[in-house]
Structure 1
Amino acid sequence: MPSGGTHVVAHLPGRRARLPLAVAALLAAASAGALVRPAQAAQTPPAPHDRTLQRDLDRLVGASGGPPGAVAVLTRGDRTEVYRAGVADVRTGQPPRPTDHMRIASIAKAFSGAVALRLVDQGRLTLETTLGSRLPELPVAWHRVTLRQLLHHTSGLPDFTASPDFRAILAEDPHHVFDSRRLLEFAAGEPLAFRPGTRYQYSNSDNIAVALLAEAATGRRYEDLLKRLVYRPLGLEHTSLPHGHRLPRPALHGYAVDPPAPPEDVTELFDTSGVWASGAVVSTPKDLGRFIRGYAGGSLFSAHTRKEQLRFLPGAASEPAGPGVNSAGLALFRYATRCGVLYGHTGNTAGYTQLAAATPDGRKSLTFSITTQTSKSLKPALLNHLRKVQEDFACALLRH
């Protein structure tokens, strides 16, 4: 479910509530039964290109409360290095693979950014298009919010995932099917968090509004716009925006980890209609690398639009924060590491924490996926460990 923000634990009859959900609510899953411990199931990976990086990844998986599995893919032109540790599925012991499907969480926001900026290039939208001009049915107080502010997370829109009504529905039925195009109704009664354009605040509502603007401007469904404007131009064959709770196979399973209890599989705990354009995209490490090279490298839109995208707000971090010092552009973040700069996006949701980043020229990319959720308020020590390892991988990418 959504990434970032407050964590709430809700109790369901007959279920053990111990798994926080970033922003909205992470509801407890039924016991997964007897599971194979990752250390028992782990298989020896192929000989790594860099033993230090492999050791970093092994230690991350072996950390207390760490993920059952991790996979990092470094691509430099036509050369790709795959590092993996632990398992993709604790039941089978299958190792993680770059062709495994996974939930990319808030990296889906970069996909909505790609759609919106391509429509800006086509003249269907401008960065100053307001919600009121295209979506007059939304609250009057929201009408002056612009596309630029939505993509920059400076809109002030209240986050629909914080709504008590939204959380109550999930508590009652985690597989509840939402009308994705009406998700903003959960926040419609709340005032703006601040005057638009004056502050940065990460909000899942922003990218729902972006998708609705794209639909209003084109008369096409957002899912179709993703295919036409993003998947096909970049050759993404295993990326989709599904509704429902099923994950395509083969899959990199996501887990809640709370030692000494065994990991619990939360891969299909929630129906993704409740996050839609803000976090429901499914992809593979291989496809995600292809996407971020094109998107962060600027190949999808004009130099003028890219210049606007790269107007960064210093200190504004993605959720969770990526490696190095973070700054926010339009549906893109700048990660200033000790070895240089990458552009990308992160995400976290039940069972997953994700990073996709690329060099500004789009020639090199890093995707880094772990199979448990962490954020600044959920397992902060694990997040600090993760960011350090991500920066080591970023340096390896940038130095060669």
Structure 2
Amino acid sequence: MLTFARGRRLRTGLSATALAAAALGGLLQPAQAADGPGPADGGPRHDKSLQQQLDRLVAQDDGPPGVIAVLTREDRTQVYTAGVGDTATGRPPRPDDHMRIASIAKAFSGAVALRLVDQGRLSLDDTIGEHLPEQPAAWHAVTLRQLLQHTSGLPDFSASPRFLEILGADPHHVFDSRRLLDFVAGEPLLFQPGSLYEYSNSDNIAVALMAEAVTGRRYEDLLRDLVYRPLDLRRTSLPVGFRLPRPYLHGYDVLPPAEPEDISEVVGVSGIWASGGIVSTPTELGAFIRAYGGPALLSEKTRKEQLTFRAGDSSEPAGPGTNAAGLAIFQYTTRCGVLYGHSGNFPGYTQLAATTPDGTRSLTFSINTQTSKSNKPALLARLRTVQEDFACALLKGH
């Protein structure tokens, strides 16, 4: 997760003093709703109260210009939208729009690693020292399990002053993604591995590097062969630069009373890579989370390890209900039941993808501005309330 802190303006014109790691009115069009099979043929009814929740979210002064929520129940899909996916044209968000999925990319690196565990290429007890001996000796005892569950103690490279200085001077700077950990190579572990939980972008960089080390293949190729192709994800990718494939959901910096500023392509993703650089669509993100959070992608043995949760440890930003951390996945215990998923935020975007444990139902919820516990916490609180209402609709609907 990358967060823009407010302050002086970058050369791009974006309000920011730094890109710091931790986890990014009159233009609104009438609310939209696009359903799959309707009530006449047995499909779910459009819920007016859910639509009103979205309408109120985008009507807030600091709220997103647009929002899209996609609920899938087996072969039936409902799409709820409010506001706009592009303030210049006024068009609504669409389920096939490309968008930055932010830290949900960590679930993809988890999928790669856990599929390699299923293949016997990796073990959850394998260490950084075994596969990445060039990394600092102090890190060598950290295991794959600890990386996937954010209990490694690795310092977060994206909070490094040098990293932030480079990115602040040139948000399009092309980093060597495989050398991102160099920014914190001189720092000690934050705590004894396994003793505490600390969400860190460094963890999933190390996961991807371990996957490359044991296979001799590029992480991007592993994503293609182990995740995209088996799930038929044709519009999901891990780009290097700052451009988004067309069409895309535009992301905005919202700082009233100024007009929302389009920052969709302000930041290059080479500096976040396996921790947050993936681009997907609401439709494909739903297909992924149903497979990864459900039983379709992993063996029963590996899935049992994946779903061993640490109570109280939250995704970033926190998802609906009470959060608990598994291996590159979170448990969201809502008032209506349990979902498995992941969240994320990046400049211009805040994301949630969640599924029922059986993998038959999913919710993706995307807004085109950034919120987190350190950036617009009141908006995040409102967002989590709306997300829980949608989660209840997913869990209770037929």
TM range (shorter): over 0.9
1:97 is aligned to 2:94: yes
Aligned length: 387
- 1:47 CA displacement: 6.8
- 3-state secondary structure, aligned to 1:250: coil
Q: Paired residue for 2:77?
A: 80
AA aligned opposite 2:333: A
Q: Paired residue for 2:21?
A: 23
- 1:165 CA displacement: 0.5
8 Å Cα contact 1:102/1:251 also seen in 2:
yes
Q: Paired residue for 2:29?
A: 42
Q: List alignment gaps of at least 5 residues for structure 2.
A: 36-45
Output the CA distance in 2 between the equivalents of 1:206 and 1:10.
30
Q: Paired residue for 2:122?
A: 125
- 3-state secondary structure, aligned to 1:106: helix
Residues 156-167 of structure 1 mapped to structure 2, 5 A cutoff: 156-167=153-164
Output the CA distance in 2 between the equivalents of 1:103 and 1:43.
25
Output the CA distance in 2 between the equivalents of 1:255 and 1:318.
22
Residues 152-191 of structure 1 mapped to structure 2, 5 A cutoff: 152-191=149-188
46-55 or 353-362: which moved more?
46-55
Output the CA distance in 2 between the equivalents of 1:350 and 1:210.
24
- 1:111 CA displacement: 0.1
CA 1:8 to 1:16, structure 2 compared with 1: closer, same or farther past 3 Å?
A: closer
Q: Paired residue for 2:41?
A: none
Aligned-residue CA RMSD (Å): 1.7
- C-alpha offsets along residues 17-48 of structure 1, whole Å, 9 cap, x if unaligned? 3487451797xxxxxxxxxx5x4341442477
CA 1:217 to 1:8, structure 2 compared with 1: closer, same or farther past 3 Å?
A: farther
8 Å Cα contact 1:129/1:147 also seen in 2:
yes
CA 1:287 to 1:280, structure 2 compared with 1: closer, same or farther past 3 Å?
A: same
Q: Paired residue for 1:217?
A: 214
- 1:299 CA displacement: 1.2
- 3-state secondary structure, aligned to 1:242: coil
2:194 to 185, 197, 201: 197
AA aligned opposite 1:129: D
Output the CA distance in 2 between the equivalents of 1:387 and 1:346.
11
AA aligned opposite 1:52: S
AA aligned opposite 1:87: V
Residues 344-355 of structure 1 mapped to structure 2, 5 A cutoff: 344-355=341-352
AA aligned opposite 2:392: C
8 Å Cα contact 2:18/2:168 also seen in 1:
no
1:396 is aligned to 2:396: no
Output the CA distance in 1 between the equivalents of 2:11 and 2:205.
32
- 3-state secondary structure, aligned to 1:354: strand
Q: List alignment gaps of at least 5 residues for structure 1.
A: 27-36
- C-alpha offsets along residues 230-287 of structure 1, whole Å, 9 cap, x if unaligned? 0011111110001100000110000000111000001001111000000000000000
- 1:375 CA displacement: 0.3
- 1:103 CA displacement: 0.1
- C-alpha offsets along residues 153-204 of structure 1, whole Å, 9 cap, x if unaligned? 0000000001111001011111000000000000101110001000000000
- 1:63 CA displacement: 1.1
- 3-state secondary structure, aligned to 2:67: strand
- 3-state secondary structure, aligned to 1:343: strand
1:362 to 340, 346, 359: 359
Output the CA distance in 1 between the equivalents of 2:327 and 2:21.
21
- 3-state secondary structure, aligned to 1:272: coil
Output the CA distance in 1 between the equivalents of 2:392 and 2:377.
23
Output the CA distance in 1 between the equivalents of 2:127 and 2:6.
33
8 Å Cα contact 1:158/1:203 also seen in 2:
yes
CA 1:99 to 1:20, structure 2 compared with 1: closer, same or farther past 3 Å?
A: farther
- 1:13 CA displacement: 5.6
- 3-state secondary structure, aligned to 2:71: strand
8 Å Cα contact 1:41/1:92 also seen in 2:
no
Q: Paired residue for 1:29?
A: none
- C-alpha offsets along residues 62-82 of structure 1, whole Å, 9 cap, x if unaligned? 112000000000000000000
